[in-house]
Structure 1
Amino acid sequence: MLRFLSAQSTFNLWVIFLTENLLVTVLALLFGWLILKFNHKPIKPASRKEVFICILTNVINTAITYAGFWLWKHGYILLSYTISWRIGFDFLVLFMLMDLAMFLFHYAIHRSILYKAIHKFHHHYADPIPIDLFVLHPLETVGFGCLWLALLLLFNFNIYAVFIYLVVNVFFGIMGHLGIEPVPASIRRIIPFKYLGTSSFHHQHHLNINHNFGFYTNIWDKIFRTYKG
């Protein structure tokens, strides 16, 4: 796949990466819609503004994807391609490092003037819907993208671990913006679910902006005493 992409023109790469990002968005929103429908929750339609920002976020994510590919092609990002135990290890490292990086970035935004200038835009609904995962201020989308590229520049990850992480990232994002909790409380109390950022965990953040800054886990909120169950 990477060899195929390397042979493409810049224009073709932008088309491919934009198509990829839009497809991921459509599949993610379909997944969220199916969960809401299965749980018999009325599905609130997205506004024109949400749809526009969602598309803009996809364009920015396309630019970030292209930047990552360019950095890989020119030897700045190094990836391994072996199928081994490293896939699971690299995924866990990437999962936890990104969770910590995004927690710190998210926390810093809320504790500065950037909240009103940038992040308040994402909190326009206390009761989020799936598309709100992609409704971010453009500068915030760039910020998260830079965190992602920085990790890839600093460490040599397995490419399959990167792919798994990207799938898991979208899964957690959609689950956090359902506006409902589809996982029974009995399951959320057991390991490893008790340490994960469930739907109700992130929903609590939309209800109270001073708590639950984590994305994939609640570990950092518990350490920094910002956790609210």
Structure 2
Amino acid sequence: MRKNIDQKNFLDSVAQSKYNYWFSFVSDATLFVALITYGVFIAFFVLLDIMFFVAGFFLLGLIEYAVHRWVFHNPKTPAFQKHMQHHGDPKRLLALPWFVSTSTLVCLWGLFCLLIGREFASFLVAGMVLGYLYYGLVHHLQHQLPGFWKKRTAYHEIHHKHPNINYGVTTSFWDVVFRTKK
């Protein structure tokens, strides 16, 4: 029991650290460069590589929506309480521990390597990482620079006031698909 409490306290302290917040961008950008470099090094099917990269970017949009709606807004998940802290204080620098997102993306790359090969997996996951970086940047700017991208920011602010609608941070596409756009 004590070990679980210590692990929870450790993860909480990492998630609330401004160093974690900023290092997440560095870690994800490094992974992006590594995947692109490796993908280019072994590239053979350039058009398909580009298609997998674009697919990865858009796949991340669906993942963003799904995690936000069904994990961050599900009271039964450990992430719910932290996400509600974000709703209570949107300017606070709070982020998933950097090693969680990076290791998850690396594991996805490994899985996709088995399923579709190293070349396509590298470009698919690189697209996902770029999408995740884009999400992080847009979400940061929405809360730290409210004048940034006024329409997107207003859309996201509606979500903070009414948490069961407008889950999309970077796009409203999935809110339209799942009928949660208001």
CA–CA separation in structure 2 for the residues paired with 1:113 and 1:224: 21
Q: What's the secondary structure of 1:124's corresponding residue?
A: helix
- Unaligned runs of at least 5 residues, structure 1: 1-47, 70-78, 186-197
Match of 1:9? none
Measure how far apart 1:176 and its partner are. 1.5
> 2:133 corresponds to which letter in structure 1?
V
CA contact (8 A) 2:52 2:127 kept: no
Match of 1:36? none
Match of 2:111? 153
Aligned counterpart in structure 1 of residue 129 of structure 2, from 149, 166, 176: 166
More helix by share: 2
Q: What RMSD, in angstroms, separates the aligned Cα atoms of the two structures?
A: 4.2
CA–CA separation in structure 1 for the residues paired with 2:169 and 2:102: 12
> 2:138 corresponds to which letter in structure 1?
M
Q: Could you say if the C-alpha distance between residues 148 and 129 of structure 1 is closer, same or farther in structure 2, counting changes exceeding 3 Å?
A: farther
How many residue pairs match? The answer is: 149
CA contact (8 A) 1:201 1:212 kept: yes
Q: Could you say if the C-alpha distance between residues 173 and 162 of structure 1 is closer, same or farther in structure 2, counting changes exceeding 3 Å?
A: same
Match of 1:213? 167
CA–CA separation in structure 1 for the residues paired with 2:129 and 2:140: 17
Q: Which has the higher contact order (CA 8 A, sep 6+)?
A: 2
Q: Could you say if the C-alpha distance between residues 164 and 102 of structure 1 is closer, same or farther in structure 2, counting changes exceeding 3 Å?
A: closer
If the length of structure 2 is used for normalisation, what is the TM-score? 0.57
CA contact (8 A) 1:130 1:177 kept: no
1:1-229 pair list within 5 angstroms: 50-51=16-17, 54=20, 58=24, 81-82=43-44, 84-109=46-71, 110-114=73-77, 117-126=78-87, 128-129=90-91, 131-132=93-94, 135-136=95-96, 142=100, 146=104, 149-150=107-108, 153-154=111-112, 155-156=115-116, 157=120, 159-160=122-123, 162-178=125-141, 179=143, 180-183=146-149, 185=151, 198-228=152-182
Q: Could you say if the C-alpha distance between residues 82 and 131 of structure 1 is closer, same or farther in structure 2, counting changes exceeding 3 Å?
A: farther
CA–CA separation in structure 2 for the residues paired with 1:212 and 1:128: 16
CA–CA separation in structure 2 for the residues paired with 1:49 and 1:103: 21
If the length of structure 1 is used for normalisation, what is the TM-score? 0.47
Q: Could you say if the C-alpha distance between residues 224 and 122 of structure 1 is closer, same or farther in structure 2, counting changes exceeding 3 Å?
A: same
- Unaligned runs of at least 5 residues, structure 2: 1-13, 36-40
Measure how far apart 1:83 and its partner are. 6.8
CA contact (8 A) 1:101 1:147 kept: no
Measure how far apart 1:146 and its partner are. 3.8
- Identity, in percent, stands at 22
